[in-house]
Structure 1
Amino acid sequence: MRYYWFLAFVLLLALSASAGAKIKATRYTLDLQGNSKIEGLYDDWWQNAVIYQVYPRSFKDSDNDGSGDLQGIIDKMDHFVNTGINAFWLSPIYKSPQVDNGYDIMDYRDIDPLYGTLEDLRKLVDEAHKRNLKVILDYVPNHTSDQHAWFLNSVNRTAPYDDYYIWKNATYVNGTRTPPNNWLSAFYGSAWEWNEQRQQYYYHMFAAQQPDLNYRNPNVVNDMKDVLRYWLNFGIDGFRMDAVNTLFEDILLRDEPPSGNSGISPDDPVTLDHIYTINQNETIDMIYQFREVLDEFSAQNKSYNRIMMTEVYATPNISMRYYINEDHTRRGAHFSFNFWTFILTLNKDFNAFQLAESIQSWQAELPIGCTSNWVLGNHDQRRVSTRLGVENIDALNMLIGILPGVQITYQGEEIGAEDGEVTCEEGYDPQAIKNCSTYNITTRDFERTPYQWDNSTNAGFNEGHKTWLPVSEKYHKTNLAAESLSGLKSHYNVYKQIVEIKQEFKNTTRDMLSFGSHPNNVFYCERKTDSAHYALVFNAGNTEQPVYDFLDVNSTLEVVISNVNSQYKKGDSFEILGNLQAKESLLLKVTPLEE
């Protein structure tokens, strides 16, 4: 789920800051051993993993009906193996009316026929485990569909479901029925919907067809924990938890104060400061409870850890609360997605200093004993190649490959895919298609177009049936088959090489990270463990620039990866103080000279 009000606020700050930002010199050096277990760093299966997000409806259509499906994922599963992926996460595949592309769930324990059956998912999990791949499901705890049996029973006041949702009486102003308070939906307008049958309002943070569950009801908590146990027993290896910072709301239903943003529609959630509807203390506690369910299962089965990844759009200090409590006695998410570094604080004109600061501002808040993660994009954000520039995609993929922790890839980022082309009339994003005049600004359809496998009909997504969203016209040039040729300099081959190198950072006992910027707009990042030593140099500017004194002069530097437009080849030497062309990036193997 995209938190529009928070994104708008932070991006406004980022844009205003970048407009007059000076490119400064900065350098950070971090000893990462303090953030890991004594016996070794990154020794659990997920801590140095590459996790790949699959958007199932757009991945592969096996039966040529226009929509991707589970069998299509099975058919293309070797792509994960060939690329070096360790785990993949499936956006929602549960039974759903598809009002919000599957995030409106009417049965948490069944598969929507659009994607297949439970047997198809069983086959998918078995095939993944045969390939040593882990499978992660999207888990949507905040709300259900208004077609879920719980909600239908709640409308009828059928016990025990009568208070499974947040129902409140209307208030009347001069005889006119009005909602209980001023809370606004992330999808615009009041967050309260009148139900004629029950004669009450129900609360919905997102679409009206997505009523919020009442987590103050212990039966709801137990039922949602049982959903986790059901899928753990099924063989699922972890969960990406959607919209978790909206689980609880202020029990007193106090009006939220104005944010101070002016010139905006009163229906826009940016107009309010959401102090009573997100990141409540009870929400944090519920995440810790979910973690206990996962840890209990792994302990009882004497097996590997099942993981939890949480979606929280927030500043780093708030995001870290989802990891662990202050006295480190309770754990929550194995990691909370780092949207801060590459999504909330950078724009297309970012410079080397801003890049270094965006990394440091996240890493500095990371609690001891916790593992970081790096996210370039997802199904709710414009594709990173469009948002931050296709000319920068190789540098960014190299960077998140050598930074410590988990690397998250949204499908298509490995081939440098850009936003697709979708009109409002062709779109499916429920909040965007309500207003075609703003569709191009608010839609999430552009980043959800079908995967570009090859240059055949419909990019190889299917055999020619009209696709649910149109295939991007860019597929003739940008597709996996074209980029997979051995020896070719391509975004995919760059990505594949960095994923291979990333494995060298696993199971180490020493880890030093250094990164920073120079006023000439050159960024560097150096990672040194007891078995690997690499440095990334990246000219974020538009003119040729030298690489200054970032690296030890008593070392040799060998090019192991270069971006697609670089003149350097694998095996070339790079001289200290050598020049980089505009937007050029190199990953260098650092070897100290013998004394």
Structure 2
Amino acid sequence: MTNETLHATSPKQTPEWWRQAVVYQVYPRSFADSNGDGLGDIPGITSRADYLKQLGINAVWLSPFYPSALADGGYDVADYRNVDPRLGRLEDFDEMVSALHARDIKVVVDIVPNHTSDQHEWFQAALKAGRGSKERERYIFRDGNGPDGNEPPADWVSVFGGPAWEQVEDGQWYFHNFAVEQPDLNWDHPEVREDFLKTLRFWSDRGVDGFRIDVAHMLTKDLPEALPSRAELEALPYDGNHPIIDRDDVHEVYAEWRKVFNSYDPPRTAVAEAWVARDRVPKYAHPESLGQAFNFDLLQADFDAEQFRTIVADNLELASRSGSSSTWVLSNHDVVRHATRYGLPDFAEEARNPLGAKNGQAWLLTGGREPELNWAKGSRRARAATLFMLGLPGSSYLYQGEELGLHEVADIPDEARQDPTFFRSPGVEVGRDGCRVPLPWEQEGPSFGFGAAAPHLPQPAWMAEYAASVQDDDPASSLNLYRQALAARVKLQTRETLDWVESGRDDVLRFTRPGGWEVITNFGTDPYEYDGAGAEVVIASSPTEPGVVVGETTVWLKY
């Protein structure tokens, strides 16, 4: 596929489409199963293209669909320029891109550059080539400590729990920041850098419009001969010179990537997943680097007016520093769904899961029994928070199934779990499978319309009530709330500015957008009255009436 054909078949060629886009994250293995093997696939996504068009999104972001042993849900990539045969073929990918582009939906794919799968041909070659080989230079291999080298080079712990160094047959050790099946690459190696440039061109030439960069802050490393201890490593400042996290030199990599992105018309976009200190975010969102960075702050917040206002003000200020637009996220494939988070009791700040699951982790550990989940409150708050988020300037990221109002699935049997965090820390971390359970499309069938066979993760019986077919014709459903909001949002998103309006209450936020729009969110439980003279209620997250916003509700007004 040439750039010329690509230009002819891509949807509306607006270079800065991403600045205020609504991007829908698809976790391919749990979206739609076309061949009845229990695993979602690329043709399954194509089959739901009309659903995505009707929803009103601007782009689809695909979590990894590459060949993988699924040690980490596809984030252990064995081949960066192919499709996992269980999910389809490259021709299926091309058909999906064409189907989405025909409906004016852009395509964003996940790139996982920090590590490969241990099944990747490079790593297999490194194991065979042995100590001191050129093949091992693409990864981070070290001799061990102790008289026989059988102690790890350092006592570091991986993100998923357990040691971060793994010994191979000839006695050397390799570094893996995540699962043992995910060896970290050596980004000082020119072949590593060139191969990822080739990958970016490969997918861009196939019509991909942008890239989401997994753990964008971890690629480059500077490991001294004598490695620091775990305690010493954790005590080092994250100032751009840390040995393994958020180093300034990672932006040399992204400057090369930016040249590739800008060689296309329109330029390909990128967004960084970068869990870094606040003042470090603009480096990733800078136009000479990746151009945009995820803001996860709302995802970690309570349903609280003060927290929401501080987060919005801070992140709009950060976006202005880089010249980018902010991103807003309430749920994704790594955290407890926000309808559930908002239905659980608020816990203290120190009790929150660092990934934003908060007390959801304690709830998951009991199989959803304790603490008690208030389903109705969680759903009501989730609708209000979503309308608040969609009213903000910047781009919004939605996670598959949130438009159906789905809650987290807590009661997954241990033998059915797939997340490596569960296996590496049994009884401590349940993992992320609960938000990755396949979607319910129909009220009946072996997998509620997901496919013709039982799905790869079990679906609870309550999912039948949340099926897309059930909600389709219900004007009060969560699905139709999203559809209405996204249709209205097209008119609301004119300029990337907002002005706060004094509400007179600590638990109510009001802001205006250009063109006579106002958003009011009542985070409390008492009704809030406002002067609605001349205002039309365009959409409300809960039933209300002009001049009143009932508790835990958002309304959009047009004057």
TM bin (shorter chain)? 0.7 to 0.9
Matched to 2:393, the amino acid is P
- The aligned counterpart of 1:216 is 188
- The aligned counterpart of 1:312 is 274
For 2:496 and 2:197, the matched residues in 1 are separated by 38
Distance 1:515 1:49, change over 3 A: farther
| Residues 554-593 of structure 1: pairs in structure 2 closer than 5 A | 556-564=534-542, 566-568=543-545, 574-575=546-547, 578=548, 580-589=549-558, 591=559
Superposition deviation, residue 545 in structure 1 = 3.5
For 2:492 and 2:537, the matched residues in 1 are separated by 18
CA RMSD of aligned residues (A): 2.4
For 1:318 and 1:495, the matched residues in 2 are separated by 33
2:408 is the counterpart of 1:419: yes
494, 499, 504: which one pairs with 1:513?
A: 499
Matched to 1:104, the amino acid is D
2:399 is the counterpart of 1:410: yes
Superposition deviation, residue 182 in structure 1 = 3.2
2:71 is the counterpart of 1:96: no
2:481 is the counterpart of 1:491: no
| Residues 136-147 of structure 1: pairs in structure 2 closer than 5 A | 136-147=108-119
Preserved contact between residue 64 and residue 110 of structure 2 (Cα < 8 Å):
yes
- CA deviation map 1:25-79 (0-9, x unaligned): xxxxxxxxxxxxxxxxx97222221111000111011111111111111111111
Gaps in structure 2 of 5+ consecutive residues: 1-13, 343-377
Superposition deviation, residue 398 in structure 1 = 1.2
2:261 is the counterpart of 1:294: yes
- CA deviation map 1:94-129 (0-9, x unaligned): 111111111111111111111011111111112122
Superposition deviation, residue 181 in structure 1 = 2.3
- The aligned counterpart of 2:528 is 546
User: Does 555-564 or 401-410 show the bigger shift?
Assistant: 555-564
2:333 is the counterpart of 1:333: no
Percent identity between matched residues is 32
TM-score by length of 2: 0.84
Preserved contact between residue 258 and residue 273 of structure 1 (Cα < 8 Å):
no
Distance 1:272 1:209, change over 3 A: farther
Preserved contact between residue 271 and residue 285 of structure 2 (Cα < 8 Å):
no
Superposition deviation, residue 80 in structure 1 = 1.1
For 2:270 and 2:39, the matched residues in 1 are separated by 28
Structure scoring higher RCO (CA < 8 A, sep ≥ 6) equals: 1
Superposition deviation, residue 90 in structure 1 = 0.9
- The aligned counterpart of 1:17 is none
Distance 1:123 1:516, change over 3 A: farther
User: Does 125-134 or 206-215 show the bigger shift?
Assistant: 125-134
For 2:33 and 2:390, the matched residues in 1 are separated by 30
Superposition deviation, residue 315 in structure 1 = 3.3
Matched to 2:293, the amino acid is S
Preserved contact between residue 93 and residue 111 of structure 1 (Cα < 8 Å):
yes
For 2:293 and 2:218, the matched residues in 1 are separated by 14
For 2:173 and 2:257, the matched residues in 1 are separated by 29
Distance 1:472 1:535, change over 3 A: farther
- The aligned counterpart of 1:11 is none
The number of equivalent residue pairs is 503
Preserved contact between residue 99 and residue 209 of structure 1 (Cα < 8 Å):
yes
Preserved contact between residue 522 and residue 547 of structure 1 (Cα < 8 Å):
no
Distance 1:584 1:399, change over 3 A: closer
Preserved contact between residue 352 and residue 517 of structure 1 (Cα < 8 Å):
no
| Residues 223-302 of structure 1: pairs in structure 2 closer than 5 A | 223-252=195-224, 254-255=227-228, 258=231, 275-296=242-263, 298=264
For 2:113 and 2:452, the matched residues in 1 are separated by 36
Distance 1:473 1:584, change over 3 A: same
Q: Secondary structure at the match of 1:78?
A: helix
Gaps in structure 1 of 5+ consecutive residues: 1-41, 260-268, 325-329, 569-573
Preserved contact between residue 454 and residue 460 of structure 1 (Cα < 8 Å):
yes
Q: Secondary structure at the match of 2:99?
A: helix
- The aligned counterpart of 1:67 is 39
For 1:464 and 1:495, the matched residues in 2 are separated by 28
Q: Specify which structure has the higher proportion of strand.
A: 1
Distance 1:390 1:316, change over 3 A: farther
| Residues 18-97 of structure 1: pairs in structure 2 closer than 5 A | 44-97=16-69
Q: Secondary structure at the match of 2:312?
A: helix
Superposition deviation, residue 140 in structure 1 = 0.6
- The aligned counterpart of 2:139 is 165
2:325 is the counterpart of 1:371: yes
Distance 1:151 1:78, change over 3 A: same
Superposition deviation, residue 482 in structure 1 = 2.0
2:172 is the counterpart of 1:190: no
- CA deviation map 1:190-244 (0-9, x unaligned): 21111123x3111111011110110011111011111111111122111111111
For 1:157 and 1:332, the matched residues in 2 are separated by 35
Matched to 2:142, the amino acid is K
Superposition deviation, residue 256 in structure 1 = 5.5
Superposition deviation, residue 518 in structure 1 = 4.7
Superposition deviation, residue 305 in structure 1 = 2.4
Preserved contact between residue 94 and residue 102 of structure 1 (Cα < 8 Å):
yes
Q: Secondary structure at the match of 2:484?
A: helix
Superposition deviation, residue 175 in structure 1 = 5.6
- The aligned counterpart of 1:30 is none
Distance 1:360 1:170, change over 3 A: same
